[in-house]
Structure 1
Amino acid sequence: MQKGLIHLYIGDGKGKTTAAVGLSVRARGSGLRVVFAQFLKGRASGEQQPLETLGVTVLWHMSSQKFVFSMTDEERKICRTEQAACLQEAADAGKKADLLVLDEVFGALSCGMLEKDAVLALLKNKPAGLEAVLTGRDPAPEFLALADYISEVQCTRHPYEKGVTARRGIEY
Structure 2
Amino acid sequence: MENGRIHIYCGDGKGKTTAAVGLAVRASGSGKKVLFLQFLKGEESGERQALRLLPGVTVYPNPEHIKFSFQMTEAEKDEVRADNDHRFKDAAIEAIEKGCDLLILDEAIGALQTELLSRALVLFYLRTKPKGLEIVLTGRDPDQELMELADYISEVKKLRHPFDQGEQARQGIEW
- TM-score bracket relative to the smaller structure: over 0.9
C-alpha displacement of 1:23: 0.4
**Which residue pairs with 1:161 in the alignment?**
164
Unaligned runs of 5+ in 2: none
Q: Which runs of 4+ in 1 moved over 4 A?
A: none
C-alpha displacement of 1:50: 1.0
What is the CA–CA distance in structure 1 between the aligned matches of 2:153 and 2:121, rounded to whole Å? 21
Are the aligned partners of 1:13 and 1:156 in contact in 2 as well (CA < 8 Å)? yes
- Same amino acid, percent of matched pairs: 53
The one-letter code of the counterpart of 1:123 is: L
Are the aligned partners of 1:61 and 1:82 in contact in 2 as well (CA < 8 Å)? no
**Which residue pairs with 1:128 in the alignment?**
131
Query: 1:98-120 CA deviation, whole Å, 9 max, x = no partner?
Result: 00100000100111101211111
Query: TM-score of the superposition, structure 2-length normalised?
Result: 0.94
C-alpha displacement of 1:42: 2.5
Query: TM-score of the superposition, structure 1-length normalised?
Result: 0.95
Are the aligned partners of 2:43 and 2:61 in contact in 1 as well (CA < 8 Å)? no
Write the mapping of 1:75-90 to structure 2, written as runs, cut at 5 A.
75-90=76-91
C-alpha displacement of 1:63: 5.5
What is the CA–CA distance in structure 1 between the aligned matches of 2:139 and 2:31, rounded to whole Å? 27
For the aligned residues, what is the CA RMSD?
A: 1.2
What is the CA–CA distance in structure 2 between the aligned matches of 1:134 and 1:170, rounded to whole Å? 21
Are the aligned partners of 1:10 and 1:139 in contact in 2 as well (CA < 8 Å)? yes
What is the CA–CA distance in structure 2 between the aligned matches of 1:66 and 1:81, rounded to whole Å? 15
Number of aligned positions between the proteins: 172
**Which residue pairs with 2:32 in the alignment?**
32
C-alpha displacement of 1:65: 2.5
The one-letter code of the counterpart of 1:28 is: S
What is the CA–CA distance in structure 2 between the aligned matches of 1:43 and 1:108, rounded to whole Å? 16
Query: 1:86-131 CA deviation, whole Å, 9 max, x = no partner?
Result: 2112211221210010000010011110121111111111110001
